[in-house]
Amino acid sequence: MTLNKDHIGGLIFLTISVVYGYYAYEIRMFPGDQFEPFNAQTLPIALAWVGGLISLVMLVTAGRSQEPNPNLAQLNFLLVGKLLVLVWLFAQALSWIGFLASTILFLIVGYWILGERNPRTLLLASVPFAVGFWLLLAKVLDIYLAPGKLWQMVLGA
Amino acid sequence: MWDGIFTGLTTAVAPFNIMMVVVGCFCGTFIGMLPGLGPISAVALMIPITYGLDPSSGIILMAGVYYGAVFGGSTSSILINAPGCSSTVVTAFDGYPMAQQGQAGKALALAAYCSFTGGTIGALILLVAAPALATVSLSFQSSDYFALMVLGLSAVAAFSGKGQVLKALLMTIFGLMIATIGTDVIYGIPRFTFGNLDLIDGISFLLLAMATFALAEVVMTVLKGEHKEDDVPMDMSSLGSMKLSKEEVKHVAPTAGRSSLFGFLVGVLPGAGATIAAFLAYGVERNLAPRAIKDKFGKGALRGLAAPEAANNAASTGSFVPLLTLGIPGSGTTAIMLGALIAYGIQPGPRLFVDNPEVFWSVIISMYFGNIVLLILNLPLIPYISRLLIIPRPILIPLILFFSITGVYLVSFNSFDIELMVLITVVAIFLRLLSFPMAPMLLGFILGGMMETNLSRALIISDGSLAFLWERPLTALIMSIAIIALLLPIFGRYIGLKRFSADSLVVADKGEG
């Protein structure tokens, strides 16, 4: 038997429902809450059961699905991985080098990852945009953007 | 009612709010034009900006963006055969052939006039229907609300495509599960936080919307290698005449009228949305057309373009009826607006009409203004706005990514939110590859909190008995409709009701739900 999209989807949601259900029963309550008609566990437990039931129905009926499986070889997971790592690094960089420098670096590296190699374009499409956006936030809208720990350590500000 | 209309009119005509309509329509048109980014993403991208505005201005801006995005989607459908959102997929059937025949200007003008007709008729019906429904729903109790939410969530499954019913239901449950993360609003007990302080307040709906729509859609474009494609095969400077002859206007006027009414009614149904309205209106119009015109459908028929355009705009307006009167979103986009209203401390529902008449009426009135703006401002500017499509994708994609993540960061100033976005985006990509629709999850997430509160109240009032589901006639009626909505996809197949949605399921995930 070949696993199709619905089999995989059903299995994933069955797992989610079981794990969610396990933790739903672990939710701590105040003494006496268990005797109330509705408590903090009621909805999560109901959701876990309904989710598990629908997942099982999906698994049983998955054989009828005629949807083609995605051709994974045609999908560029590496490029997407690089972009998502870049987003994650942007999150880390914000507290260290501040909003402006993080934005400039994020955009330059992002353009680079997607194939832009012209240094002029890389700089012109990032620096003026980042500076303009930073000025809008910090000076016009008066939003406080922390300068970054690194600059504070180096400059002692 | 007239006092409310006057208050709304005063709010809507305030210079700042008119500017919001113009800015919203303009930004929406641009974002909607970008293939892959639909109204949901466009509205989600605007949310961080609206937090700095008062509720009326914020919602007016979002409504403008919604309209603009649907219109922008039509533009890219007609000019480059790349629908910006699923509700404008049908527009490309006849719009693109017209553009290829050198009638791009005429197609754009017709799309704008029909959108205007759809929006106008929709806004007029909304003006009458919304307060009437709001008055009736003032008598609703917790049990009725709980039943209404069940109906809203089950309707999503009813209107999902063939083979998608179980997936839509599972995604709804998944959304409800995510909504339970954080401190329980009734008992104040942390649930599923695993000791992480960043999760105590739960996951913000903005984060979820951005990660599953704006960010995931851009990432999917890269994943499929579509970022390398060049979208601009046509010369934007030679769109041809934008004028329609008297005969052409006479030919399409009945179509626009019919489709507007039809679109509005479909839009009111929770979960149906503009996509299904457009597909249905196109199908109905083709069946009504005489043989000679029927053969032209798909090859540049004016009626084939007019029907979906009028219907999708009227449906966009219609989807505001359940949002404004019952607090239940009619589509993915209105689900995001519901979240934004809640963030403002405004509870949409029957009380909105009484407690915040300025929000209720100014949104309705500004919708009409939005239509006028689209017609008199955006239409002449289309040749210029469409040049923005020339921006290379390697430049555009990091910018959209940047706006998506900073939109969330600038609300919380917590870099954990960006890390969580990455995680949710990864999950969303895998679910999209497995053809799971995202809109039901968002709907489940947004309705989850309200559903739990109302269920809790109803159960406590009935002393733990589930009898409230059938003892109160109104609750029983709504629950019966919800059960029919759930069973419809199973039995509808046998009576031919599902034919229309088979085509839409492929694109139902893209933007408009």
HEC secondary structure over B318-350: HCHHHHHHHCCCCCHHHHHHHHHHHHCCCCCCC
Rounded distance, CA B78 to CA B194, Å?
A: 50
B293 touches chain A (CB under 8 A): no
The whole-number pLDDT of residue B505 equals: 38
CB contact under 8 A, B425 and A88: no
| CA-based nearest distance B329→chain A, Å | 21
Residue A53's pLDDT band, with cuts at 50, 70 and 90, is very high
B219 touches chain A (CB under 8 A): yes
> Does pLDDT of A50 surpass 90?
yes
Interface mutation vs chain B, best among A6, A47, A106, A108, most B CBs within 10 Å = A47
| CA-based nearest distance A98→chain B, Å | 12
For residue B31, which amino acid is it? I
- Collect all residues with Cβ–Cβ distance below 8 Å to B450 and sequence separation of at least 6: B145, B149, B327
Tell me if B365 sits within 8 A of B208, measured CB to CB: no
| DSSP, res B243 | -
Closest CA to A60 of A15, A11, A2: A11
**pLDDT beneath 50: ranges in chain B:** 497-513
- Any idea which residue has 């500004």 for tokens? B366
The whole-number pLDDT of residue B235 equals: 57
For residue B326, which amino acid is it? L
Nearest chain B residue (CA) to A78: B223
- Collect all residues with Cβ–Cβ distance below 8 Å to B293 and sequence separation of at least 6: B301, B303
Closest CA to B180 of A34, A16, A37: A16
Locate B315 and state its tokens: 């449906």
Nearest CB among A94, A106, A125 relative to B415 is that of: A94
Nearest CB among B398, B431, B462 relative to A111 is that of: B398
The whole-number pLDDT of residue B502 equals: 41
The whole-number pLDDT of residue B36 equals: 63
Q: How many CB atoms lie within 10 A of CB B186?
A: 18
Helix and strand numbers, DSSP H then E, in chain B: 24, 2
For A36, phi then psi, to 5°, come to -75, 150
Give B106-151 pLDDT, tens digit per residue: 888 898 889 889 988 888 888 888 777 777 777 788 888 888 888 8
| CA-based nearest distance A156→chain B, Å | 23
CB contact under 8 A, A43 and B176: yes
Q: What is the dihedral of CA B385, B386, B387, B392, to 10 degrees?
A: 120
CB contact under 8 A, A115 and B409: no
CB contact under 8 A, B463 and A37: yes
Average pLDDT over residues A5-10: 91
Tell me if B265 sits within 8 A of B314, measured CB to CB: no
Locate B318 and state its tokens: 């219609």
> Does pLDDT of A114 surpass 80?
yes
- Any idea which residue has 């002859």 for tokens? B245
CB contact under 8 A, B166 and A61: yes
Interface mutation vs chain A, best among B196, B223, B417, most A CBs within 10 Å = B223
The whole-number pLDDT of residue B512 equals: 42
CB contact under 8 A, A51 and B174: yes
Give B390-449 pLDDT, tens digit per residue: 778 888 889 888 988 887 887 788 899 999 999 999 999 999 999 898 878 888 887 888
Say what the ipTM of the complex is. 0.92
Angle subtended at Cα B493 by Cα B498 and Cα B271, rounded to the nearest 5 degrees: 45
A79 or B341, which is more confident: A79
Closest CA to B215 of B444, B435, B409: B409
The whole-number pLDDT of residue B272 equals: 61
Which range scores top for mean pLDDT: A45-49, A64-68, B359-363? A45-49
For residue A32, which amino acid is it? G
Coil, strand or helix at B507: coil
For B191, phi then psi, to 5°, come to -125, 135
| CA-based nearest distance B498→chain A, Å | 16
Nearest CB among B169, B395, B419 relative to A125 is that of: B395
Interface mutation vs chain A, best among B146, B401, B412, B426, most A CBs within 10 Å = B401
B502 touches chain A (CB under 8 A): no
For B183, phi then psi, to 5°, come to -75, 130
| CA-based nearest distance A155→chain B, Å | 23
Which chain A residues are Cβ-neighbours of B415 within 8 angstroms? Answer: 91-92, 94-95
B230 touches chain A (CB under 8 A): no
The whole-number pLDDT of residue A157 equals: 56
Q: How many CB pairs under 8 A join A and B?
A: 165
Rounded distance, CA B200 to CA B193, Å?
A: 6
Nearest chain B residue (CA) to A22: B192
Rounded distance, CA B80 to CA B240, Å?
A: 15
CB contact under 8 A, A13 and B170: yes
Angle subtended at Cα A114 by Cα A111 and Cα A115, rounded to the nearest 5 degrees: 90
- Collect all residues with Cβ–Cβ distance below 8 Å to B290 and sequence separation of at least 6: none
The whole-number pLDDT of residue B160 equals: 67
Which class for A56: exposed (0-12), middle (13-18), buried (19 or more C-beta within 10 A)?
middle
Rounded distance, CA B99 to CA B92, Å?
A: 10
A78 or B102, which is more confident: A78
How many Å is the Cα radius of gyration of chain B? Answer: 22
Which chain B residues are Cβ-neighbours of A47 within 8 angstroms? Answer: 173, 176-177, 180
The whole-number pLDDT of residue A44 equals: 95
Question: Which pTM value belongs to this model?
Answer: 0.79
Nearest chain A residue (CA) to B418: A91
For residue A138, which amino acid is it? A
CB contact under 8 A, B464 and A75: no
Tell me if B119 sits within 8 A of B311, measured CB to CB: no
- Per-window interface: B 82-141 vs A, CB < 8 A: none
B421 touches chain A (CB under 8 A): yes
Bridge partners of B182, per DSSP, are B191
Average pLDDT over residues A64-79: 80
Bridge partners of B183, per DSSP, are B190
- Collect all residues with Cβ–Cβ distance below 8 Å to B298 and sequence separation of at least 6: B93, B94, B97, B304
CB contact under 8 A, A5 and B434: yes
| CA-based nearest distance A157→chain B, Å | 21
Which chain A residues are Cβ-neighbours of B405 within 8 angstroms? Answer: 87, 90-91
| CA-based nearest distance A150→chain B, Å | 16
> Does pLDDT of A89 surpass 50?
yes
Q: How many CB atoms lie within 10 A of CB A66?
A: 7
> Does pLDDT of A141 surpass 80?
no
The whole-number pLDDT of residue B237 equals: 58
Tell me if B327 sits within 8 A of B348, measured CB to CB: yes
The whole-number pLDDT of residue A111 equals: 95
